[in-house]
Each structure stands twice: as structure tokens, then as C-alpha cells.
Amino acid sequence: MSTFSFRLEHTDGRARAGRISTPHGEIETPIFMPVGTVGSVKTLSPLELTECGAQIILGNTYHLYLRPGTEVLERFGGLAAFSSWKKPTLTDSGGFQVFSLAGLNKITEEGVSFRSHLDGSPLFLNPETSIKIQESIGADIIMSFDECIPFPSSREYVLKSVDRTARWAERGKAAKTRGDQALFGIVQGGVYEDMRMRSAGQITSIGFDGYSIGGLAVGEEIPRMYEICGYTADLLPRDKPRYLMGVGTPEDLLNCIGLGVDMFDCVMPTRNARNGTLFTSRGRLHIKRLDNALSDEPVDPECGCYTCRNFSRGYLRHLYKAGELLALRLNSLHNAAFYLSLVKNARNAIRKGVFSGFKSEALEKMKIGGLK
């Protein structure tokens, strides 16, 4: 019997606030999921993630399949127990990573043959094996295996891909054996509205616990990404969670929450942190710049994270320029906390019926701040 449910609690225009129940706890939406590719969010401990507001983290099926492997994960009772994460987890299908191995994969109706990026060994992934791996990982929410197409792609190729993704979705659902995991279907279709409608119709007719919007933020212009996101979200069931995969900037989160999206993930906050770029309520801050050397200001005066409560921009710049590992931890902690605080504030604004004003004010402040 499924222990997964979604309750839509508030709407404000197209923006939604709800609650997902899973075997490992509840998730308030809209939510951002920090990415723990190989079972950890880079530089951050589970305690730090909890303290900065994380409710769910994402693990990557492809990478976890290669290392540590399903035997190890099963031995330790799944990813959450293995990593001492006490809250919900989500895994992607592995499709994006496999299809990104351009020149190293071969797509057939049965699945995808490819070579490991680690040692070049031959591997094979299809809807059934993707589900089996994700069942070994034991995430609360798992994804259907889909075809992630490049941008740009012709209408002819998108049509073939959309139909193949639907057939794979049916096979994956049939292969699922665990009742304690929720399975999401993925809507594809590139930047073609009729293809998105076709895919949404196919995937929703199969029936899933939630629905993901895939294949965006892969090179198309940002305004077009928003158009397709909003168009696709409107095609999805009102009573199921909607997950926009791999997106994106703070601006993307706010705009797509306004289009009816409930869940997000992206490597951007931690990857940018490791490169010295910090997200703030006044825009992006490049901590390595010389004008931060004598600054006793926090990264963001409006942020209550551990980094902002205790350290100056000057000290963070010093750590980064000196190559200290602490710089990566403190920067990552701030960026993760900023993203999670942003979606928390969005949730509260939706509940109060003031999301539109909140979004406009937040976006204007980020614009004013600019790049420093």
C-alpha cells in the first residue's frame, strides 16, 4: 500500500502551496531539493542541510549505480540509511546523465547501451533496470526512465522521443514492485507546445503519483522556457505534485512557482558556491573580488544562515583566495540556505495570498543588486 500523498492547501493565482507525505516525513511545497549526486550534497553534512531548511534531497541513479552500487546500498538499507539522512529522498531516472554521454550511447526501443564515464566499461539501462536500481536506492520518490533530447531537436525527432518516453513510462510502471515508493512520470516535448500536449496526455493517462516537467533549461531562451513550463504545468492534474527538473536560478524558482510548479532541483547553489559566487537578496555576489577584501558586511544582511551570522565578506574572500576548504563549506551553506529560505518565503506568501507582490519585490531587489 502506498504511503505517499499530496494535499493542495492554498493557491494564489497559479502559484500553489501544498504538502507531500512520504514514509520519511512530510515536505511542504513549493520546495527546492539540494542535489546529492553520489549520496552527499557537496561539502555539507546532513545536520547542516537540516539546519538550513532542507526537507528532501536528490540522489542520482546513474552515479549511485556506478558507485557504490546496488549491492552496497541494499546492504545498508538504502541511500537514506547509508548517508544518515533522516528525511525524504528523491532519485532521478539516470536518463539525463546517460543521454548526456554524447557519442558513448546507443538508443534503441529496448533501452540505452552506453559506456561508463569512469572506466569505459559497457553498461545498459532501460525502464526496468532504472526502476530496479531506484528500488535498491530506496528513495521515497523515484522517476520513470525517459529520453532526454538535446536542444535544438527537430519536430520529427521530438515526436519519436515523446512516443518512446510514453512506452518506457508504461514499462517502468509495470516493473515497479515496492509499494512504499512514489513513481513520477516525466513529460517531454522540447519547445513544441503540441508535443508537450501529446506527452502530457500520454503520461497522465498512464497514471502516476506525481508529474515531472523534463527537457527544459537545456539551451532554449529563458522566456521560452517559462512559456513551455507554464503551458505544461497547466496540462497536469491539479491534485498531483509538479516537479520541474534541473531548474535553476533564484529568478527561475520564483517565476516558475508563479506558473504552478511545486518542486525544483539544481546543482547551481552548491556548484556556484564552490566557484565563489553567492546568491543574495540583492543579486549575485562574487566573493573573490578585491572590493570584498576589507568588507566587514555579511554576505546578505537579510539572511540568517550560519555563514551570514558569523563571518564577514572579507574573511570569506580570504578563505577562498587561500584555497581553504572552509570557504567551500561556508559558501555552500549560505547558498543552500538562501534557496531554501526563498522557497519558504514563497510558500508563506502563497498562504497569505500575496505571492505576486512578494515575487515582484524579490525579483526587483535581485535586479538592483546586480553582479558584484
Which of the following is catalytic: 12, 92, 140, 146?
A: 92
Q: Which amino acid is at 193?
A: E
Grouping H, G, I as helix, E, B as strand and the rest as coil, residue 263 is strand
Note if 140 is an active site residue.
no
Residue 41: CB partners within 8 Å, gap ≥ 6?
A: 34, 35, 49, 54, 57, 270, 332, 336
For helices 222-235 and 193-206, the axis angle rounded to 10 degrees is 40
- Calpha distance 39→130 (Å, rounded): 17
Sequence-ordered list of residues with C-beta below 8 angstroms from that of 240, at least 6 positions apart, any chain = 6, 208, 209, 210, 211
- From the candidates 209, 252, 262, 265, which is the catalytic residue? 265
The values of phi and psi at residue 200, to 5°, are -60, -40
H or E segment and range at residue 328 = helix 325-352
C-alpha to C-alpha distance for 327 and 333, rounded to whole angstroms? 10
All three cell numbers of 310, joined, read: 558569523
7 alpha-carbon distance from chain centroid: 20
Contact 48, 112 (CB under 8 A): no
Q: Is 265 a catalytic residue?
A: yes
Which residues form the catalytic set? 92, 265
